[in-house]
Amino acid sequence: MFLFGDLHFDDPLLNMATVLVAGIIGGEIFAAIKLPKVTGWIATGILLRQIALPGMDTGLDAKALDRFLPYMHFVLGFIAFTVGATLYFASLRNTGKRIGLLLLGEALVTPLIVGIALYFIGPLLPGGESMTKHPAVLLAAIAIAGAPGTTVLVIQEARSRGILTRTLLAAIGLIDMVAVAIFVFVTTVLGDQSGWLHAFQSVCIQFAVTLVIGTACALIAIGLTRTFVSPAFLGPTMVAVVLASWGLAAGFGTSGGILACTFAGIVVTNLRHDLVRSCEAYLQTISGALFALFFTFAGMRLDFGLVPHAVALVVLYFVARLIGKCVSAYAAMTLAGMTQSVRNYLGIALLPHGGVAVGLILLVAEDGSGFSDEIKVLVNTVGLSALAINQLLGPSATRFSLIRSGESHKDRARLLDFLQEHRITVGLTGSAPEATIRQLADQLYSTSGMTIPQEEFVQMVLRRDADQTTCLGRGLMIPHAILDDGDEIKGVLGISSQGLDFDAPDGRRIHAVLLLATPQLERKRHLQVLAAFATAITRDTNLAEQLYHAHSPAHAYDVLHADEQADLNYFLEDAAEQAGLRENEVSIKRKAR
């Protein structure tokens, strides 16, 4: 409490205003020297803990910060909600094997390497005398967590697109869910004296309860948006979902507020994907203030006086986590049969450590966590210090991975943008064209928003194919339909390495079937797709062989989107520019005549 005569400046709102302004200034200073703002916020919080300012409690310590926990819980719940919202199931098609293996590696390999390093090497280092089983296990669980916000931001800045990028986007939210699950299990086991089986049952109960809570809150909100709530209040309604999910989880006596908000995000994004965008857009204008205050408060919980004594532990934790990420990612991608660039660079790209990790550290530090003050201080000091290093190096590591994998600056519009990995299938079957078309139509409708009933679309395609065969020769078939509405081409690609006997005009088996749904506005591009595919397949035998024998959708995606296939899958702006240049040349020649 700051004293000036008989005045007492200890109001929480005044404290928050002071912390926010200081955090903003600290973040801008760090940004000016090309460092992440979040690192500046944490550093500012560390500094504020040591000094007293007008409107700030003198010597404000971690326990005094507990009165701001409702705010911290809201921001953490919002982060968890957005993490869940990244798990849009329609876009995860064909990624199941490698994502499943990666999650298994993150659940086992990363915490195992970190835990062993801290437990066996930690006590031998300066300041590591108190590194016992409990803090080692807690930090190992926290090490799993990533940083979805930071990762997405780096991907956007790098204008990245490709299999590594797609794997990152699909996995980063699930990795945080794994981190939360392992953390809840670990804290329950450490605090439960009835054995690990009872602890496992407690975790399952917590998951079930938080799943019901998150789902119920999401369904109620979706119902309200379809009946009473106007479009202007979609964002505030989603904020209410975050508040209700966390509050109900706490009210039922669970420690799964993060889980409840994550489940709510998953349900909302898969039932009404547009509502997630409404929530993000609503909070976009104040997200800077939310996160600046959140991370500055997190920094204030770090007693910097303890950091120099624990610097060896911090370095050990950082290095062990990096090794764990790289080993688990490399092993998972090798087993999944991914390309060398994905195997080599995915682990480095997973280095960023963010909001969920901060939240888990804060949960350990809370009064009701059941851990001793010594454990709280050690986890807080090592965890937040290592997180500050990760915030400094993590974004650069992700950017480095995207560049070295060749996926940086690949987000410009291309001719075949609609053929993303989840819209490609291998092992295509069918004894007749109609059966194959129906199989691909199922995939098209499960991965794309279509405006006409599926059966109506199928009949349009079949009528077109009956009028004139869409088998173009050399193993390629492109059934299609022209739709009255819509603003973009939608399509799926099916590949059969064995080939389908459809009585093609040239007598060859069909190995690739490209099903297209083209609106009237995109007929020109539709013709470009047909011409590009037909020309590339008939001209480039190597391309055809690679595509026809692709062993996975990811492999087929790499074949079609490789730099070597610029003639097939060109950048549309480049094509438009070249067309403009040709028109200018013709105009100049005409004038010269």
* pLDDT (tens digit per residue) in 548-570: 888 888 888 877 776 555 556 55
Residue 420 pairs with which residues in a beta bridge? Answer: none
CA atoms within 13 A on the CB side of 379: 31
Q: What distance in Å separates the CA atoms of residue 57 and residue 68, rounded to the nearest whole number?
A: 13
Residue-level pLDDT at 308: 78
Q: Are 138 and 529 in contact (CB under 8 A)?
A: no
Residue 43 CA, distance from chain mean position: 26
DSSP for 76-87, written as a single string: HHHHHHHHHHT-
- pTM value is 0.68
Q: What distance in Å separates the CA atoms of residue 491 and residue 560, rounded to the nearest whole number?
A: 14
Residue-level pLDDT at 215: 94
DSSP for 362-407, written as a single string: HHHHSGGG---HHHHHHHHHHHHHHHHHHHHHHHHHHHHHHHHTT-
Cα 12 to Cα 17, 57, 458: the distances in Å are 9, 9, 62
CATH topology of domain 2-358+368-404: Na+/H+ antiporter like fold (1.20.1530)
Domain locations in the chain as residue ranges: 2-358+368-404, 421-589
The secondary structure element, H or E, covering residue 111 is helix 96-116
Q: What distance in Å separates the CA atoms of residue 144 and residue 177, rounded to the nearest whole number?
A: 9
496 phi and psi angles, rounded to 5 deg: -125, 110
Unique residue bearing structure tokens 């770090």: 302
Unique residue bearing structure tokens 């994004």: 269
Q: Are 275 and 234 in contact (CB under 8 A)?
A: yes
Q: Which residues contact 423 (CB under 8 A, 6 or more apart)?
A: 93, 443, 444, 447, 448, 491, 492, 493
Q: Which of 169, 19, 20 is nearest to 83 (CA)?
A: 169
CB atoms within 10 A of CB 493: 27
Amino acid at 516: L
Residue-level pLDDT at 522: 78
Residue-level pLDDT at 329: 95
Extract the tokens encoding 211: 């799943």
Rg (CA), the chain: 27
Residue 436 sits at the vertex; the CA angle it makes with 434 and 442, to the nearest 5 degrees, is 105
Q: What distance in Å separates the CA atoms of residue 480 and residue 450, rounded to the nearest whole number?
A: 14
Q: Which residues contact 170 (CB under 8 A, 6 or more apart)?
A: 86, 91, 92, 95, 99
Residue-level pLDDT at 578: 41
Ramachandran region, residue 127 (left: φ > 0; alpha: ψ -120 to 50; beta: rest): left
Q: Are 83 and 176 in contact (CB under 8 A)?
A: yes
Helices and strands counted in the chain (H then E): 22, 8
Bridge pairing between strands 490-500 and 7-9 = unpaired
Coil, strand or helix at 482: strand
pLDDT tens by residue, the chain, 593 residues: 444 445 555 677 888 888 899 999 998 998 888 777 777 887 888 788 777 655 555 445 556 677 788 888 888 788 778 778 877 777 666 677 888 899 999 999 999 999 999 999 999 998 788 888 889 999 999 999 988 767 876 776 677 878 888 888 778 878 887 888 888 788 877 776 666 777 778 778 888 889 999 999 999 999 998 888 887 787 888 889 999 999 998 887 655 687 888 899 889 888 887 676 666 677 667 777 888 888 888 778 766 666 777 889 999 999 999 999 999 999 999 998 888 888 999 999 999 887 678 778 877 877 666 778 888 888 888 888 888 788 778 888 888 898 888 887 766 555 667 777 888 888 888 778 888 999 999 988 888 878 788 999 999 999 888 888 888 778 888 888 888 877 778 888 899 988 888 878 888 888 889 898 888 877 777 777 777 777 777 777 777 888 888 888 888 887 777 655 555 655 444 444 444 434 444 343 443 34
Residue-level pLDDT at 104: 93
Q: Are 59 and 52 in contact (CB under 8 A)?
A: yes
Cα 215 to Cα 211, 244, 347, 390: the distances in Å are 6, 11, 32, 33
Residue-level pLDDT at 194: 62
Cα 437 to Cα 298, 460, 484, 494: the distances in Å are 55, 11, 20, 10
Q: Are 82 and 147 in contact (CB under 8 A)?
A: no
192 phi and psi angles, rounded to 5 deg: -105, 125
* CATH label, 421-589, candidates 3.40.930.10, 3.40.50.620, 2.60.40.10, 3.30.365.10: 3.40.930.10
Residue 2 pairs with which residues in a beta bridge? Answer: 9
DSSP for 173-215, written as a single string: HHHHHHHHHHHHHHHHHHH-TT-HHHHHHHHHHHHHHHHHHHH
Q: What distance in Å separates the CA atoms of residue 205 and residue 200, rounded to the nearest whole number?
A: 9
Residue 97 CA, distance from chain mean position: 17
Residue 432 CA, distance from chain mean position: 40
Residue-level pLDDT at 316: 94
Q: What distance in Å separates the CA atoms of residue 494 and residue 436, rounded to the nearest whole number?
A: 9
CB atoms within 10 A of CB 272: 17
Residue 483 pairs with which residues in a beta bridge? Answer: 519
Residue-level pLDDT at 103: 93
Residue 492 pairs with which residues in a beta bridge? Answer: 515
Extract the tokens encoding 261: 């908000």
The secondary structure element, H or E, covering residue 306 is none
Q: What distance in Å separates the CA atoms of residue 252 and residue 206, rounded to the nearest whole number?
A: 9
Q: Are 126 and 312 in contact (CB under 8 A)?
A: yes
CA dihedral in degrees (316, 318, 323, 325; nearest 10)?
A: 150
